[in-house]
Structure 1
């Protein structure tokens, strides 16, 4: 893929690093979207892609979303992201050595970018990176002195988003009797499921991992499983995408039978126009980069500000609830979709900081 000046200008960020790891033939992509307010921060995603173009598109979009996420939370961090385009599976030794080499690259950036776990990586991986990349690593294991997984604050942030969305839709944030469909039971989805069951919500879920599905059905009597291919046809109050991105497109949006969408997945819209399509269908969309900011906010509150886990979760829920409420109110009063309302708020908060300087 030719990374042209046009692509970089459309992205609106600062720096894109493309590095070939010769030992594994994996390609490391580090996107720093903004470091004007503060250092850029964002997770390390390791996965296979169809091609390099898809990997570059992913890292650019994800880093841009991180800038919006921090802006919505009034946090003095900029957006960044790392994507590792894996060309093959790595054994344990190869993986460890690869992460150590990535730590060297991270260290060379001298604090412009901080990393944490994302899809395909864990707190244990952050422990390894820390050896060569310290101190620019978030979310190490508790044993190693970090805050551990970001899944808990992320899930509680989604929970707060669901309550706020229900309050706007139905006049009450009580979830008892509400039907909530969770698409994807990864770490965040599983925690969210347990939280919602405690609220006596009617929870329906789907996942492609059959062993996980069987385990959940054996553990939780009150949940209902739905085959993945029926995800967009289920009647529910809230649809919670907690797996892959780009799942909301003209085809799936036309099939939806929900009142609102609130989920942890990144980049849920396949294209910006999908926000307007949801509005025209009368479906209230909670912008994903607001709903899922709990991980970034919770971990930085603990590791950078010295907050306890309880204090960080309280801060996450308050911030997400207040931000979504403002987005929903502005969207209604201005007759715009919720993404437009969110972008306007983020731009106002970034205006005095953000520079259009671009490095290629």
Structure 2
């Protein structure tokens, strides 16, 4: 396996840390992309990878995305990400979580963790027993913090509305057809918010029971996960895992806009250009899905309550519009514009 700095996605990371605790079986990667704006903040993902190289690549891509996301969200925090490696059975134990907490603590605050895929706020309580460099803990109603999923969903919802306004020249979501890939915490929350505004929904998820129940609740249609991106819809919203937009899938899109909550939706940087060339409006993922890190970031920083969280999430459409306006003016893809702005903010 190549060294991390030889991988295409290394991108001048400040550090890539590998941890192993034999007693608990914990194996983890913590990637720190930038601390230019402050402590590197980003969630921990519990996932099974076919090999170590794929795990490290995912950590690198997610970490860089957090640098850009936190910068674009106006948070005084850098970007980092952790991957807690799962076995094929995805067995997660308190001992593994505690060992991970001790690993985070050895970095002395350069990295602040929170929950991501496969991790809950109860898991964060276990980790909190070993380190103070943690956020996303259960909080009282009205306070910043807790599960970031609903905050991410709110930001994506506002971003979808902004995309509909620009791509369809329509203020209302009534009758707008949105195809959502993945209906977990973020995608499911997004679906409910869209349904309240009269949107027409098509849903897909790898968990059949989950998507069937939500479709019945909201009166939505369902298709397979292999079909969802290619539904003839106004908006396609990827809200599962990343790298779903590549040369093949982009060529098959039948939508006017792509606006979703998944991280790293583009398989390669060139894919942003492919979407742009097709005339499809793209909402850069780390701009539209920043609601969760705004929530747990303000919790960690002790800056504001739930009202402040929602006020900052409310600025996501403004940031998207800034990107789209510059894209239209320069002829550069929205993904390129967003990267350029974010790099300037983190001094690169």
TM-score normalised to the size of structure 2? 0.95
322, 328, 340: which is aligned to 1:326?
322
Equivalence for 2:251: 254
Equivalence for 2:112: 114
Offset of residue 24 of structure 1? 4.4
CA distance in 1, matches of 2:266, 2:199: 26
CA contact (8 A) 1:302 1:309 kept: no
CA distance in 2, matches of 1:170, 1:72: 25
CA distance in 1, matches of 2:270, 2:314: 28
CA distance in 1, matches of 2:162, 2:19: 42
287, 293, 297: which is aligned to 1:296?
293
The number of residues matched between the two structures is 347
Offset of residue 216 of structure 1? 1.6
CA distance in 2, matches of 1:306, 1:9: 33
Deviations, residues 100-133 of structure 1 (Å, cap 9, x unaligned): 1111111121111100001111100000000011
Taking the TM superposition and a 5 Å limit, the aligned residue runs for 1:129-140 are 129-133=127-131, 135-140=132-137
CA distance in 2, matches of 1:178, 1:101: 47
CA distance in 2, matches of 1:218, 1:339: 35
What SS class does the counterpart of residue 307 from structure 1 fall into? coil
Equivalence for 1:357: none
CA distance in 2, matches of 1:88, 1:26: 14
1:346 aligns with 2:342: yes
* Higher mean C-alpha deviation, range 268-277 or range 304-313: 304-313
Offset of residue 343 of structure 1? 1.3
Taking the TM superposition and a 5 Å limit, the aligned residue runs for 1:136-151 are 136-142=133-139, 147-151=145-149
Equivalence for 1:240: 237
Equivalence for 1:197: 195
CA distance in 1, matches of 2:227, 2:5: 41
Deviations, residues 179-232 of structure 1 (Å, cap 9, x unaligned): 1111110111111111001111111111121111222233223x1112222113
CA distance in 2, matches of 1:24, 1:8: 32
- Provide closer, same or farther for how the CA distance between residues 339 and 146 of structure 1 changes in structure 2, counting only shifts above 3 A: closer
Taking the TM superposition and a 5 Å limit, the aligned residue runs for 1:305-316 are 305-316=302-313
1:336 aligns with 2:336: no
CA contact (8 A) 1:161 1:262 kept: yes
Offset of residue 26 of structure 1? 4.1
CA distance in 1, matches of 2:185, 2:319: 24
CA contact (8 A) 1:302 1:312 kept: no
What SS class does the counterpart of residue 260 from structure 2 fall into? coil
1:31 aligns with 2:31: yes
Equivalence for 1:275: 272
TM-score normalised to the size of structure 1? 0.91
Equivalence for 1:41: 41
* Higher mean C-alpha deviation, range 309-318 or range 256-265: 309-318
- Provide closer, same or farther for how the CA distance between residues 184 and 113 of structure 1 changes in structure 2, counting only shifts above 3 A: same
Offset of residue 89 of structure 1? 3.6
CA distance in 1, matches of 2:45, 2:342: 25
Equivalence for 2:263: 266
CA distance in 2, matches of 1:345, 1:154: 21
CA distance in 2, matches of 1:8, 1:241: 24
CA contact (8 A) 1:21 1:28 kept: no
CA distance in 2, matches of 1:231, 1:124: 32
What SS class does the counterpart of residue 49 from structure 2 fall into? coil
Identify unmatched segments of 5+ residues in structure 1: 355-360
CA contact (8 A) 1:74 1:349 kept: no
- Provide closer, same or farther for how the CA distance between residues 99 and 216 of structure 1 changes in structure 2, counting only shifts above 3 A: same
CA distance in 2, matches of 1:91, 1:52: 18
Equivalence for 2:75: 75
Offset of residue 9 of structure 1? 8.8
CA distance in 2, matches of 1:58, 1:282: 29
